[in-house]
A and B are shown apart, each in its own frame.
Chain A
């Protein structure tokens, strides 16, 4: 049964057989959507999809008043299921891994940069840039900012970084956003234009 956004809201927000039918249909949408979204990222067993869809149904009912109709309802619902799925997958993947072990004692160690065999000047310029960057990191960033940034560079999920720092995902994002702004200010104060240095570094 095809439903408009308004029909989804009304049926799910109601009671009785109409709500039950809407939940059955929504469950079907979520299962199809989630399987399609996670295709190629598995393997997953059926229980994972069933459990995630069940969690998503509860979350959707809770968040129903927040649906503003700026997208199709089905898209909004599947996005919730996808987010729940990834949260669970990351939690399982990282639950036995210590961030302290991964990051080691030093948040940032200077790298050994590859040399430009035919462009020694580029070597020196890159080295100067990296040293300037490290100076800003050491001087202007807090330890928590350095830890969070280092963890993000290692592609550790934000929820895991948050758990390590006794924080939450949004707070971690703000932490690293502040760190990036400080790094940008510091490099610009040292005379670097960030657009130019990135282009020069990758060329």
Chain B
């Protein structure tokens, strides 16, 4: 099945966001709670958490879990 225009766009976006050093899913997950709280409190990210943001921009699975966590935290604080 041919790759679609949208998929090419996604691939180019991933390539654009690619860094030589990236954290993997487990390392992202180990910091996701802190990352979520800082995002909700609109606090700036340190270098370690910036790597989490970069991972989330590329990894769809981690991004999906993060969005659910954020939704959960926002609703719990209502």
Q: How large is the interface on A (under 10, 10 to 19, 20 to 34, 35 or more residues)?
A: 35 or more
Chain B nearest CB, measured from A83 CB (Å):
6
CB under 8 Å from chain B, chain A span 61-119: 66, 70-72, 75-76, 78-79, 82-83, 85-86, 90, 104, 108-114
The size of the chain B interface, using a CB distance under 8 A, is 42
Query: Which of A8-16, A50-58, A180-188 is found at the contact surface with chain B?
Result: A180-188
Scan B15-32; emit 1 where CB is below 8 A from any A CB, else 0.
Answer: 110101010111001111
* Chain A, interface SS category: helix
CB pair A33–B37 under 8 Å, yes or no, is no
Chain A residues with CB below 8 A from B13, complex form: 198
CB pair B69–A37 under 8 Å, yes or no, is yes
What is the count of residue pairs linking A and B with beta-carbon distances less than 8 angstroms? 133
CA distance A184 to B13 in the complex (A): 11
Please tell me if B47 contacts chain A, counting CB pairs below 8 Å: no
CA distance A139 to B57 in the complex (A): 27
Please tell me if A158 contacts chain B, counting CB pairs below 8 Å: yes
Supposing A36-B71, A75-B36 touch, asked if A184 and B60 sit within 8 A by C-beta, the answer is no
Q: Which residues of B pack against A, CB within 8 Å?
A: 1-5, 7-16, 18, 20, 22, 24-26, 29-34, 36-37, 58-61, 64-65, 68-69, 71-73, 75-76
Supply 9 further A-B pairs (C-beta < 8 A) apart from A169-B24, A184-B18, A187-B15. A33-B73, A70-B31, A78-B69, A86-B65, A90-B61, A109-B3, A180-B58, A194-B16, A201-B9
